[in-house]
Amino acid sequence: MDPYQLKKLNAERRARRAAVLVTDLGDGRDRLVCEGDAVAGELGTAIAEAFRTGASGVVEAEGRSFFLNAHLPQPRLVVIGAVHISQALAPMAQVAGYPLEIIDPRTAFATPERFPDVALHAEWPEDALKVHPLDSYTALAALTHDPKIDDFALKAALEAGCFYVGALGSRKTHAKRVERLMAMGVPAERIDTIFSPIGIDIGAASPAEIAVAVLAQVIRAFRSRDTARQPKGQAA
């Protein structure tokens, strides 16, 4: 392996950006392809698939044999609100492979007793997100209903290009939220990407069922995300 490619790969991984290391198994040469880099032909198609699925493997392309090692950042889920739904969502998300963090400044809600074994930040999103920034491999679910807590986080998630942004609330609640986000200067086309009412439609009624619906929506968003575009989180 070329030491320069290894350094570059590790830098991308540290920055939580996806990369595919392509090794020509015939001559041992390798090169790193970063997300958004254009690669033509059969190999390009296979690389795009590796970015989408995160699966590594050997591919035959242009009469040669290549090993594609897909290095995708671990997707994570940030939940705003240490509420009943979050209590059910926390263990489910961990099991599904989406490490979860909860942010809620209300110390009566954000207690270790209610959330054992969860990364819990009893702080305002304004402060917590400074220390734990959002990125394009992060999903954000705003579950408090409280504009004072949810709105800043939603704006931050849309700006960071989170692969999923969802917000709890009825259509009426969401309509008001849209107005507030517009007033905060968030472009309408970004606001349109918020999933609200939150969760896929499975007729969920209990907090735990809503958690299932949210987690399913997060997984679908991750597995169907558009990897051809440059991650939105990378500001020019």
Partner 1 sequence: MENAAHLDESRDPLLIAEEWMKSGRDVAIATVVETWGSAPRPTGSCLVIDSDGNFQGSVSGGCVEGAVIAEAADVIESGKPRMLEFGVADETAWRVGLSCGGRIRVYVERLG
Is the Cβ of residue 1 or residue 202 nearer to partner 1 in the bound state?
1
The answer to whether the beta carbons of residues 33 and 72 sit under 8 Å apart is no
Q: How far is the CB of 33 from partner 1 (least distance, A)?
A: 15
Site string for partner 1, 38-77 (x = CB under 8 A): -----------------xxxx--------x-xxx-xxxx-
Q: Which has the closest alpha carbon to 161: 215, 96, 227, 110?
A: 227
- Sheet containing strand 64-71, edge to edge, reads 30-34, 19-24, 64-71, 57-61
Is the Cβ of residue 72 or residue 154 nearer to partner 1 in the bound state?
72
Residue 172 binding partner 1, by CB under 8 A: no
Q: Which has the closest alpha carbon to 202: 216, 218, 219?
A: 216
Q: Per CB under 8 A, which region of 21-29, 84-92, 154-162, 183-191 contacts partner 1?
A: 21-29
Q: Per CB under 8 A, which region of 9-17, 164-172, 199-207, 213-221 contacts partner 1?
A: 9-17
Is the Cβ of residue 3 or residue 185 nearer to partner 1 in the bound state?
3
Structure tokens at 85: 């739904």
Site string for partner 1, 97-116 (x = CB under 8 A): --x-x---------------
Q: Are strands 76-80 and 138-142 parallel, antiparallel or unpaired?
A: parallel
What is the enclosing helix (H) or strand (E) of 95?
helix 84-96
Contact with partner 1 (CB under 8 A): which of 3, 63, 185, 203? 3
Q: How many residues bind partner 1 (CB under 8 A)?
A: 31
Q: Are strands 119-121 and 164-167 parallel, antiparallel or unpaired?
A: unpaired
The answer to whether the beta carbons of residues 35 and 228 sit under 8 Å apart is no
Is the Cβ of residue 5 or residue 234 nearer to partner 1 in the bound state?
5
Is the Cβ of residue 7 or residue 64 nearer to partner 1 in the bound state?
7
Q: Which has the closest alpha carbon to 20: 7, 10, 9, 29?
A: 9
Q: How far is the CB of 68 from partner 1 (least distance, A)?
A: 9
Is the Cβ of residue 50 or residue 204 nearer to partner 1 in the bound state?
50
CA distance 24 to 189: 41
Identity of residue 155: K
Of 105-164, which residues contact partner 1 (CB under 8 A)? Answer: 117-120
Structure tokens at 56: 């590594």
Strand partners, 20: 33, 70
- Footprint of partner 1 (CB under 8 A): 1-3, 6-7, 9-10, 13-14, 16, 23, 25, 28, 55-58, 67, 69-71, 73-76, 99, 101, 117-120
